[in-house]
């Protein structure tokens, strides 16, 4: 039975994550497997790899054949280099201590390379963010300048409009006396006092009338008996005339009687 070290896909669409498994070559890709060695996530940078190195080395030494992608992953984690050193130890080319020292030196160098890559990516990201912020700051400054220019233009336009309106209002106020100085207005002014004098005349008379009546107030009391005496004089005359008429009546009767006797 041929045994292979390969990847079994899992994860959602366009966000695939793989398991590193030991499976039969006749089994389907995502089917049954013998052992799971680790996982591989290519969506991050650098890619995330988690491998059980001892189990992977054991299967490789036993003859399991890794696929190309699985071989690259194992090489990245140092499993294939460790197999090479172990084969040399088994053949007696090198000692186990030398093999371990070489592997440790290789792992330190590999980790330093990986850390350098992580640092370079972080710096690149920071520089990209800085350049992006600078570009945004420039755009914002340009917009602020444009807004300031527009405001200045608007303020100047408002100032000129205010000056024009003040200039238009000033002649209107100056021309007002000229309109009042027209002959029609003067005639109206001349006629206005006459009408006012006519209207004031009755008022003056009304005001003077009580004064005339108030001045002979004391004399009115004195004249009242005189008027009464005048009214009584005709009464007295009437009384005096009444006896005279009565005296005339007997005289007439006497004359009538004399006339009758003569007849």
Condensed to tens digits (0 to 9), the pLDDT of residues 41-79 reads 999 888 899 999 999 999 999 889 999 999 999 999 999
Contact by Cβ (8 Å): 4, 22: yes
E strands present in the chain: 3-12, 15-24, 35-41, 48-51, 65-66
- The Cα 60–Cα 51 span in angstroms is 13
Q: What is the pLDDT of residues 138-148, one digit of tens each?
A: 999 999 999 99
Question: Is the pLDDT score of 185 beyond 80?
Answer: no
* Mean pLDDT of the residues in the chain: 75
257 contact partners, CB below 8 Å, separation of at least 6: none
Q: What is the pLDDT of residues 223-241, one digit of tens each?
A: 444 444 344 444 444 444 4
Q: Helices 79-91 and 68-76 sit at what angle, rounded to 10 degrees?
A: 80
Q: What is the pLDDT of residues 110-126, one digit of tens each?
A: 889 888 888 898 899 89
- The Cα 39–Cα 46 span in angstroms is 14
Q: Helices 79-91 and 96-180 sit at what angle, rounded to 10 degrees?
A: 170
Q: Domain-by-domain residue ranges, the chain?
A: 3-94, 115-185
Question: Is the pLDDT score of 24 beyond 70?
Answer: yes
- Phi, psi at 122, each rounded to 5°: -65, -40
User: From the CB of residue 37, how many other CB atoms can be counted at a distance below 10 Å?
Assistant: 27
Question: Is the pLDDT score of 5 beyond 90?
Answer: yes
Q: What is the pLDDT of residue 219?
A: 45
What is the fold, at CATH topology level, of the domain defined by 3-94?
S16 Ribosomal Protein; Chain: A; (3.30.1320)
Q: What is the pLDDT of residue 188?
A: 53
Q: What is the pLDDT of residue 174?
A: 52
Q: Which of 75, 40, 43, 33 is nearest to 57 (CA)?
A: 75
The mean-pLDDT minimum among 23-32, 102-111, 137-146, 189-198 falls in 189-198
């Amino acid at each position: 039975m041929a045994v292979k070290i390969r990847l079994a896909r899992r994860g959602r669409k366009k966000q695939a994550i793989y398991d590193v498994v030991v499976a039969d070559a006749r089994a389907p890709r995502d089917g049954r497997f013998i052992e799971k060695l680790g996982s591989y996530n290519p969506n991050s940078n650098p890619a995330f790899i988690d491998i059980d190195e001892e189990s992977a080395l054991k299967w490789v030494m036993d003859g399991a054949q890794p696929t190309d992608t699985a071989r690259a992953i194992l090489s990245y984690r140092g499993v294939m280099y460790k197999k090479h050193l172990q084969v040399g130890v088994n053949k007696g080319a090198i000692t186990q201590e030398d093999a371990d020292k070489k592997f440790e030196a290789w792992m330190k160098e590999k980790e330093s390379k990986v850390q350098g890559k992580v640092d370079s990516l972080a710096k690149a990201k920071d520089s990209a963010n800085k350049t992006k912020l600078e570009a945004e700051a420039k755009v914002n400054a340009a917009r602020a300048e444009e807004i300031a220019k527009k405001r200045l233009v608007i303020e100047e336009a408002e100032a000129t409009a205010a000056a024009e309106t003040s200039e238009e209002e000033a002649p209107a106020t100056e021309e007002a006396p000229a309109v009042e100085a027209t002959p029609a207005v003067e005639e109206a002014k001349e006629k206005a006092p006459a009408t006012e004098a006519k209207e004031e005349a009755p008022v003056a008379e009304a005001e003077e009338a009580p004064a005339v009546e108030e001045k002979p107030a004391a004399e009115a009391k004195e004249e009242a008996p005189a008027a009464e005496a005048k009214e009584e004089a005709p009464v007295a005359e009437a009384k005096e005339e009444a006896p005279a008429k009565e005296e005339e009546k007997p005289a007439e009767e006497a004359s009538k009687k004399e006339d009758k006797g003569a007849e």
